[in-house]
Amino acid sequence: MEVKIIRSKRKTVSLTVTRAGEAVVRAPMRMPEESIRRFVDQHREWLETHLAIVEERNLCHPNPTPEEEAALRRRAKEVIPPRVAELARRMSVTYAGVKINFAKTRFGSCSGKNSLNFSARLMQYSPRAVDYVIIHELAHTLEHNHSARFWQIVAQYMPDYRQAQQELKT
């Protein structure tokens, strides 16, 4: 198993797995190679588990071709803004605007000024999952955190939101 080693001015050693499925060790500049190898060996089970998780995720969610990406973007621009407007009316909230991007790590975000961003990748999921992300971000216009009050707002408009969350995770 190949492990990429990145040395820097740090005092501790860490092991991570990137979204691309690459094992990375970050180590202090002067840490001996043997110590790094020992560290990796001690964490081999963790590493193999997380490499398998990333591989499974990448198999279930392959990167779309440029044509597929363009189609997802077009569909998102047609579907998401009117759905945001409708759900915002139901929730009696206002927002600054809606942008569509192709973010890989988050389905949506809400800025401090209530500008909403959504990933076109949402179009690969059910309408219920899309509604959950929209409601989640609109709830942030009222509560800019994940407090109990925030989750009460989400639950008020989608009582079964945990099912939609689960769909997005699998």
What is the per-residue pLDDT across 81-104, written as a single tens digit (0 to 9) for each? Answer: 999 999 999 999 999 999 999 998
Nearby residues of 80 by Cβ (< 8 Å), 6 or more positions away: 98, 100, 118, 122, 130, 134
pLDDT at 66: 93
CB 123 within 8 A of CB 100: no
Region 102-127: what's the mean pLDDT?
95
Kindly tell me if the per-residue pLDDT of 60 is higher than 80: no
CB atoms within 10 A of CB 12: 8
Percent of the chain with pLDDT over 70: 100
How far apart CA 27 and CA 68 sit, in angstroms, is: 39
Nearby residues of 149 by Cβ (< 8 Å), 6 or more positions away: 143
pLDDT at 150: 98
pLDDT at 25: 96
Looking at 3.40.50.300, 1.20.210.10, 3.30.2010.10, 3.30.420.40, the CATH number of the domain 66-169 comes to 3.30.2010.10
pLDDT at 62: 78
Region 12-20: what's the mean pLDDT?
93
Could you tell me the residue ranges of all domains in the chain? 3-60, 66-169
7: its two tokens: 């040395």
Kindly tell me if the per-residue pLDDT of 141 is higher than 90: yes
CB 76 within 8 A of CB 120: yes
